[in-house]
Amino acid sequence: MIEAVVFDLDGVLLDTEELWDEARRQLAEERGARWPDDAQRAMMGMSSHEWSRYMHEVVGLVEPPEEISAEVVRGLEALYRERLPLVPGALEAVRRIGAHWPLGIASSSNRPLIDLFLELTGTPSLFRATVSSEEVERGKPAPDVYLEAARRLGVVPEGCAAIEDSENGIRSALAAGMRVVAIPNRVFPPSEEALSLAGEVLGSLDELTPEAIESR
């Protein structure tokens, strides 16, 4: 039985995967570093500690990882305040599902960006628990961020449904023991193999209903 629902943030509620790619790529270009073709996919789901280290060690930025992370986050904060890139139907879906279950967020975003999303949308009261992967040991596809979300919600992971869009996110929630409802990312879609592991695959947030979450 489902006792709580945990949303991913980037790609599910915010259309930001391309913004993250743009911000990181631009920083790399400004610093004269090489941008690998697979850099965006490699970093999807990573915690801030992991992707900033990747940019330092693999992309080749000379700045320390913590400085790289702070610079990218500052750029994204400015973009959010200028125009928050909400996925169509995001707030309606959150309210619809929140009328039935306690909600959480398990995100690879840095804590300041999660808090800014809550502030700009006026939704802090709708989410009982929010977790950034920078607050756990490992980012997605490891299960850490989802396990911590379940702990903060006071629910066993097997009693949670996770709403995910990416390959690493789907694998992370599954590794935590959660039921996964996948809404594939349109720009960086998960593999067919990953989608086959989800309990339900939807076309958009408009299709995210209590019935879809509970469907077996």
The active-site residue out of 8, 21, 144, 165 is 8
Question: Using only C-alpha atoms, what is the Rg of the chain?
Answer: 16
Tallying the residues shown for the chain, one arrives at: 216
Contact 68, 49 (CB under 8 A): no
Query: Residue 29: what residue type?
Result: E
Cβ-in-10-Å burial (0-12, 13-18, 19+) of 124 comes to exposed
* DSSP states along 138-204: S-TTSSHHHHHHHHHHTS-GGGEEEEE-SHHHHHHHHHTT-EEEE---SSSPPPHHHHHHSSEE-SS
Q: For the chain, count helices (H), then strands (E).
A: 10, 6
Give the active site residue among 10, 15, 21, 144.
10
Give catalytic status of residue 165 as yes or no.
no
Report the distance separating Cα 182 and Cα 179, nearest Å.
Answer: 10
Let me know if 144 is a catalytic residue.
no
Q: Which residues are catalytic?
A: 8, 10
